[in-house]
Structure 1
Amino acid sequence: MSVLIGIDGSIASRAALDWGVARARAARTGITLRYVVDDEWGAVGASARAELRRNAEVLVQHELELAREGAGSSPVTAQISVGPPMLTLAAEARDHELVVIGTHKVGVFHGLALGARGLQLAAMSPVPVAVVPVSSGGRRHGVAVGIGGEAGEDAAVRAAVDEANRSGEPLVLVQSSTSSVLAGAHAISRARALAETLAPAAGVTEQRSSAAAGEALAIMSGQSVLTVVGRPTHPGAHGFRPLGRVTSELLLNLRGPVLVVPFPALPTTESPERTTEPERSAET
């Protein structure tokens, strides 16, 4: 399995390339670059389409050379497709362990980014999606994972531990204090027990925020090496899978790399009082 990186020649694309190549090198896995020529160009004439194709080939060759410079022993390939970019990447993702895209959207709440492509891809991809912002500088520490008490959330914790071990960073369990105190305490204890069983090399810490869950994770994304959030999916679902409020708010307001991990939605046996905000479709 390899890491799939969406490229288009933009600054955001380069952020995804740099992050994805470093991640693949650390994981000792292959890299596939995918340039998708938007099929809205199908309305233009044959000569214009041929020119677009030639431009795409030049761009892809340049990005391929850059990726190989930083990939170490990880093999790198590149491909060109024609179609809706996010739909195409989501369809291709099933053959990879992770798909990575860049974003220009780095903002604060109620500010930027309606229609951000990260939301579109995260709502369709059957595998984890990493969304990497253009500007994510500054000193960062830890791999943060949101804990909401959702049944099946263990997948996000496991993914976060894996990423923490790859980066040599501690795992930070993040929970909003807006959840029920009793159920919230149970969820964080359960997540910590699982994380400690998986033994992250740099240890486990907890952080409880007074902010709503999406905002708390967005704030953490400005401090963390990576912020991980789980996304419930439903068996047999195909195509678009609605994002919940927490994931949507995080992706709309991220300030550093974010990993969205899909997991099967399971019947909960916890307290009937909800510990996370209700799922709803993202407005894009």
Structure 2
Amino acid sequence: MAERVIVAIDGGPASSAAVDWMLERARTVNLTVELTTVIELGWVPAGGPQDDFHLVYERALAEAARRVDEAAPSLKKTSVMRRGAPVEELIRASAKADLLVIGTKKTGFMAGAVYGTLPLRLAAHARCPLVVVPANWTHLDGPVVVGVEDDDTSDVALDFAAREAVRLGRGLVIVHAWSIPATLGFDDGLMIPFDDLRQAHDEILARAAGRIREANPGLDVTVTLEQGPAAQTLVDASRTAELLIVGTHGRGAVAGLILGSVSHDVLLNMPCPIAVVPRAVTGAASAMQPKQ
């Protein structure tokens, strides 16, 4: 079964980068692609046509489809124009997709106002993994980097990252950052020593790496343990990465609680394309079909 990918189109360089990223993925994975854009009802872009401005969206979709035809003429694709609130429509669409791909930069007059903040809101609620591609993205031969938390909330993201590294034939870098709590824990009235704190986090990282090595014996897995802010550690570790993968907390009714502060901050300081993986992933996203 082919992986079902939706690429959000807004007519600017950010969505062009999203299309380019999808085309690069199509080299190694069997895909069916939906190019989609969302017309926000009741909204007319500044400087745009006052009446039949939906033609702007049609042209953007047609241009994206033309680029796909030129680069991958055999790739199965559809073009869909949705109407409604962009966040709600793309979240609804993600329920039937294995991967949702969007650009990051707020560009163009067509939908820049909504597509500029879309990544953060979508990352908190998308029903499938969301890949956010910077507008200036270029293909790199770097590793896949994934962040792990103190608990099991990163397990699904970690498994996704291992599959991506295997697909790309790259190494996997598992990153864990830790910091000294503002109020240190106490055991029988004694402060926990610094070395014991570090050892506890080292064991978290070792368990995560061990599980991935056991499941993927041919995969080159390295680990990075750093003391400091998690988001900055992940950004620094991903400067030359092909893909950075983070998970969501999957709890709470507030978007920030669902996404988590680390994923939120990483999306605001993107070093490379970032995949945000919900805690529950099904379909081809959890078992991609590589090209033969």
What is the TM-score of this pair, normalised by structure 2? 0.78
Structure 1 spans left out of the alignment, 5+ residues: 106-114, 265-284
3-state SS of 1:26 partner? coil
Q: Aligned Cα RMSD in Å?
A: 2.6
The answer for the alignment partner of 1:198 in structure 2 is 215
Contact in 1 for aligned 2:17/2:137 (Cα 8 Å): no
Note the C-alpha offset of 1:118.
1.1
Q: 1:125 to 1:168 in 2, by over 3 A?
A: same
Equivalence for 2:276: 260
Offset of residue 117 of structure 1:
2.1
In structure 2, relative to structure 1, the CA distance for the partners of 1:256 and 1:176 (3 Å cut) is same
> Could you say which residue in structure 2 is the equivalent of 1:109?
none
Q: Deviations over 1:176-229 (max 9, x none)?
A: 142742331222112112211231644111112333111111222322100001
**What's 2:37 paired with?**
35
1:68/1:76 contact within 8 Å kept = no
Q: Which runs of 5+ in 2 are unaligned?
A: 107-115, 181-196, 281-292
Partner of 1:87: 88
* 1:174 positional shift: 0.7
* Residues 166-205 of structure 1: pairs in structure 2 closer than 5 A: 166-178=167-179, 180-199=197-216, 201-205=218-222
What corresponds to 1:71 in structure 2? Answer: 72
Give me the whole-angstrom Cα distance separating, in 2, the residues matched to 1:196 and 1:175.
16
Partner of 2:286: none
Contact kept in structure 1, 2:7 and 2:36, CA below 8 Å: yes
Contact 1:124 1:240 survives alignment (8 Å): no
CA contact (8 A) 1:218 1:249 kept: no
| Residues matched between the structures, number | 251
**Paired-residue identity, %:** 30
Deviation, 1:67, is 1.6
The answer for the alignment partner of 1:110 in structure 2 is: none
Which moved further from structure 2: 149-158 or 252-261?
149-158
Retained in 1: the 8 A contact 2:147–2:154? no
Q: Which has the larger displacement, 180-189 or 219-228?
A: 180-189
What is the DSSP-based 3-state SS (H/G/I as helix, E as strand, rest coil) of the residue aligned with 2:125? coil
Output aligned runs, 1:7-46, within 5 Å: 7-41=9-43
Alpha-carbon distance, 1:128 to partner: 0.7
**In structure 2, distance between residues paired with 1:68 and 1:210:** 47
Aligned letter for 1:28? N
What SS class does the counterpart of residue 205 from structure 1 fall into?
Answer: strand
Q: What is the Cα deviation at residue 60 of structure 1?
A: 0.9
What is the rounded CA distance, in whole Å, between the counterparts of 1:184 and 1:55 in structure 2?
52
The one-letter code sitting in structure 1 at the alignment partner of 2:18 is A
Counterpart residue number, 1:279: none
Measured after TM superposition, the shift of residue 137 of structure 1 is 4.1
In 1, the alpha carbon distance for the partners of 2:71 and 2:139 equals: 21
- Report deviation, 1:33: 0.7
Match of 1:208 in 2: 225
The answer to whether the Cα contact below 8 Å between 2:256 and 2:264 also exists between their aligned partners in 1 is: no
1:234-273 equivalences in 2 (<5 Å): 234=251, 242-263=258-279
Aligned partners of 1:178 and 1:128: how far apart in 2? 28
Task: For 2:96, give the aligned amino acid.
Answer: D
The equivalent residue for 1:3 is 5
Question: 2:158 matched to 1:157?
Answer: yes
Give the direction of change, closer, same or farther, for the CA distance of 1:200–1:54 in structure 2 (3 Å limit): farther
Inter-CA distance 134–169: structure 2 relative to 1 (3 Å threshold):
same
CA deviation vs aligned residue, 1:6-27 (integer Å, no higher than 9, x gap): 0111001101111022224421
- Residues of 2 paired with 1:248 and 1:125: CA distance? 14
State which structure, 1 or 2, has the greater radius of gyration over its C-alpha atoms.
2
Alignment-derived partner of residue 220 in structure 1: 237
